[in-house]
């Protein structure tokens, strides 16, 4: 099952959401580094490329009233 998981993770990382777009050199280097770490037992799974959407990337900023949050943080740190 672990071998299957590794193969599926590798396949998923090699493909993008919008078809099988080729990986960039940086992405291929990252995947190779992850494969080596997996083989050495340092990590338990290969993470997919950042191009692969996990569904958690939908960010909606929250509107707040009053001064900007950054100014509030700076003021309270003093």
What is the model's pLDDT at position 75?
92
pTM (global) more than 0.85? no
Instruction: Classify residue 13 as exposed, middle or buried by CB count within 10 Å of its CB (0-12, 13-18, 19+).
Output: buried
Alpha helix stretches (DSSP H) within the chain: 2-14, 25-40, 69-77
pLDDT at 60 exceeding the cut of 60: yes
pLDDT at 22 exceeding the cut of 80: no
What is the model's pLDDT at position 52?
54
Q: What is the DSSP letter of 55?
A: S
5 CB contacts (<8 Å, ≥6 apart)?
Answer: 45
pLDDT tier at 40 (50, 70, 90 boundaries)?
very high
């Amino acid at each position: 099952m672990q071998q299957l998981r590794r193969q599926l993770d590798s396949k998923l990382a090699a493909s993008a959401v919008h078809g099988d777009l080729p990986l960039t050199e940086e992405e291929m280097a990252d995947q190779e580094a992850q494969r080596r770490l997996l083989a050495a037992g340092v990590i338990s799974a290969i993470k997919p490329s950042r191009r692969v959407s996990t569904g958690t990337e939908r960010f909606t900023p929250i509107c707040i009233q009053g001064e900007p949050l950054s100014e509030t943080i700076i003021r309270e740190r003093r």
